[in-house]
Amino acid sequence: MPVNLSFDKLIEYDTREAGITVPVKLSAGQNEAVLGAKLDTGSTHCVFERKHGERLGLEIENGEPLYFSTATGRFLTFGHELTVSVLGIEIYTMIYFIDSEEIVRNILGRQGWIDRIRLGLIDYEGKLFLNSYNE
């Protein structure tokens, strides 16, 4: 049986580069940070570099502590609730900022972002289609 899907947003990305990078705006009150983040279906949460939280004026260590384990080790993060915007789709969610300045990763994960949108992917063409989950 055919399934029809429709999307309002399109991100075209370079398939020759590692991962799928999307434009992200993080907002906390009047403060904003604009950056690129990787879409990561294997990451449980949204994790960002410490410097972006500091640019938002957050006291990083005042957030909810959470350790992450990866194939290369374990690291500490601190969660803060804020707004994440991708192509105008705004989501108020928990974002975890990495304790160490040495880890430079910005990731949109399943809980807090992927679970709140609808997405379609045609990787061969480098196309990522997006909608808010409720649209």
Question: What is the domain extent for residue 75?
Answer: 21-132
Is residue 1 included in any domain, yes or no? no
For the entire predicted model, the pTM comes to 0.91
Using only C-alpha atoms, the chain has a radius of gyration, in whole angstroms, of: 15
pLDDT of residue 69: 85
With a pLDDT cut of 90, the percent of the chain lying above it is: 82
What's the pLDDT band for 73 if we cut at 50, 70, 90? confident
Is 84 part of any domain? yes
- CATH number at 95 reads 2.40.70.10
Number of domains in the chain: 1
25 is a domain residue: yes
Backbone dihedral angles phi then psi of residue 28, each to the nearest 5 degrees: -135, 105
Which tens digits make up the pLDDT trace of 100-135? 888 889 999 999 999 999 999 999 999 999 999 887
Classify residue 6: in a domain, yes or no: no
- How much is the average pLDDT of 21-37? 96
Cross-strand pairs, 95: 80
Q: Is residue 68 in some structural domain? A: yes
H helix intervals, 4-131: 50-55
75 within some domain? yes
Per-residue pLDDT band for 78 (boundaries 50, 70, 90) equals very high
